[in-house]
Every structure is written in C-alpha cells, then in structure tokens.
Amino acid sequence: MLAYIIRRVFQSIVVLLVVGLVAFAMFRFVGDPIEQLLGQERTVQDVERLREALGLNDPFPVQYFDFLVRAVQGDFGISYRQSRPVAEIILERAPATLELALVSGLLALVVGIALGVFTAIRRDGWAANAIMSASLIGVSLPTFLIGILLIYVFGVQLRWLPTFGRGDVVDLGWWTTGFLTPSGLKSLILPSITLGLFQMTLIMRLVRSEMLEVLRQDYIRFARARGLSAKSVNFRHALKNTMVPVITVTGLQLGAIIAFAIITETVFQWPGVGLLFINAVQFVDIPVMAAYLMLISVMFVLINLIVDILYVWVDPRLRIDGRH
C-alpha cells in the first residue's frame, strides 16, 4: 500500500514537471510582454534594460528552472501587469473563485440529484419529460451565451439581480466573503447558475440512469414485495446504491468547475483567478500564467491522486496488483 502511494506521488510530480515545461515552452507564442509593459514612446535602451531585468533573454528551460527553484520556496515571482507578488494576487482572488465553485457545485449536486430521482421515478410523466428536454439546453448551450441571457433577463429587463461583480464583501483578514452581505449573496446567483448548469444536467442524467438501473434489481422488487413504503424503497434502498458513481463524478467535476470558471468569470466580471488568468494572457503576464497553470495542475493531480488512493483502499485486488 505504502509503496503504491509513493509510486503514485512520484508519478504525479513527473506529470507536474511536464505540464510546467510545456507551459513555459508555449509562453513565447503568447506574445512579447515588453510590448505591453512599455508605451509607444519607449526607446530601444528601455526595451533592452527591461528584457534583461525580467530574464526574458534566457532560454525557456532556464526560465523554467528559475521559476521552479523559486516556486518550491513559495515565491511565484512578480506580476508584470500589477507589479506585485503573484502569490499575494492569487490569494486575494482565490476566495471569489472558491466561493463561486462551492455554490455552483452544491447547486449542481442538490438540484441534479433531486431532478434525477424525480425523472427516474416518474419516468413517463409529462413533467419528467419536460425536465429531460430542458436539460438538453443545459448540455448544449455554451456557458457564455447562458450567462449573457441570464444577465439580460434578470439584470437588464427585470432588474432583480446585479449584472456584474461580486457585490459587497466582508474582509475576514485572510479571506473575503460575499456570503455575509445581501448584495454579495444576490451577486452569486446568476454566475453560480451559469457555472453549475452543465454539471447539474450531467448529475441529473447520471442519477436518473443509475436509478433506473437499480430500480430493476431484484432486491428492490423484494423490498416492494415486503410491503415497504415507496419512499423507503426509493430513497433508502435505491438512491443509496446509485450514489457511488455520483460521488466519483462530482469529485472530479469539482476540479472542472474551478478550472472552467474562466468563462463565467469573464462574462460576469467576477473577480476570481479565472478572470485574472484571462487578463494575464492578454497582457502576456508570464508569472501569473505560470502560477495559475501550475496551481490548476496541482489541483487536478491531487484530486486524481486521492481518487486513486481511495480505489486501492476500497478494492483490495489493486493492492495485490501493486506488488507485482
């Protein structure tokens, strides 16, 4: 077991290093940061001085190595665009993204499971059919369009909800939260629906098909034959057994929600790390891009690592294979 975990951790580190290398090899194709940093009246001397000071004259493997050496010490460099430490900027922006991801994830999970169960139990009812058809919209419409649509309906036409931003936030010192003010909560509604809609329909469809599968099993029929109430059969016996794949998928999707918040954050001007990343790409802010990509890959690698370890823990056969 220990040997397996050590091997998996080692593999994860290799994956991270490769991701970083690919990222650094790509950065020069994004453009030249000097063009963004200096104005049109710059001189050749200014350009050369800055290029040297930023280490842009070094070949990319050297730049990458420097980045790694500093990153393991917790120093992600200084943002070209904001002239401030990248770590500070990311810590400032992370709460916005994490709160949005949390609300979207919960929304997707709760509504997804509820609708999934409903459409499975009433599978021929008109309501269930309507929900199933509507869910196709969630799967097929691009996030960008859903966001703009919601803004126009609820922000511009009805004026119920704010069109952009995070509203008023409360500063707890190490974390800023929008959960404690009315405008912060109102601001969360549209972006979290936009971000969570795809996951919601995914979970709903997954729960429904798993549920239909389980409802056909013999033990459900026996449970019914024993005279148990429909509620007990559906929720205690059937739903419980559909949850294993749902939890796996949800875990993996949480990573996706955080990583793909970029589009939602851009549409709603949500001040999270996704928006920060988009700005960094446009400005060729290499330290911010590097830190963001590394953090996102660390996150994905960690999630996968935990899932792998859980599998081993759950399934003894993998442990035996691991010894070969």
Q: Which residues bind other proteins (CB under 8 A)?
A: 29-32, 35-46, 49-50, 53-54, 78, 80-84, 89, 148, 151-152, 155-156, 159, 162-165, 168-172, 180-181, 183, 266-269, 271, 275-276, 278-279, 282-284
CB of 271 to other proteins, least distance (A): 5
Q: What is the closest distance, in whole angstroms, from the C-beta atom of residue 86 to other proteins in the complex? A: 12
* CA–CA gap between residue 28 and residue 23 (Å, rounded): 10
Closest by CA position to 77, among listed 281, 292, 270, 262: 292
d(CA 14, CA 18): 6
Q: How far is the CB of 96 from other proteins (least distance, A)?
A: 9
Q: Which is nearer to other proteins, 110 or 180 (CB)?
A: 180
Q: Which is nearer to other proteins, 169 or 246 (CB)?
A: 169
Specify the residue, 250 or 264, whose C-beta has the smaller distance to other proteins. Answer: 264
Smaller CB distance to other proteins: residue 200 or 293? Answer: 293
Nearest distance in Å: CB 24, other proteins? 17
Using the minimum distance from each CB to other proteins, give the nearer residue, 44 or 320.
44
Closer of 11 and 177 to other proteins (Cβ): 177
Q: How far is the CB of 85 from other proteins (least distance, A)?
A: 9
Q: Six-digit token pair at 155? A: 């922000």
Taking the least distance from each CB to other proteins, the nearer of 268 and 300 is 268
User: Which residues contact residue 289 at a Cβ distance below 8 angstroms, ignoring those fewer than 6 apart?
Assistant: 23, 27, 30, 277, 280, 281
Q: 107, 196 in Cβ contact below 8 A?
A: yes
- For β-strands 176-177 and 170-171, DSSP reports them as antiparallel
Provide the minimum distance between the beta carbon of 159 and other proteins in the complex, in angstroms, as a whole number.
6
- Work out the number of other CB atoms within 10 angstroms of the CB of residue 133: 9
Taking the complex as a whole, how short is the minimal distance between the CB of residue 134 and other proteins, in angstroms?
A: 24
Q: Which is nearer to other proteins, 11 or 266 (CB)?
A: 266
Task: Name the minimum Å distance from CB 163 to other proteins.
Answer: 5
Phi and psi torsions of 2, nearest 5°: -65, -45
**CA distances, 291 to each of 44, 69, 79, 175, 277 (Å):** 30, 13, 10, 20, 10
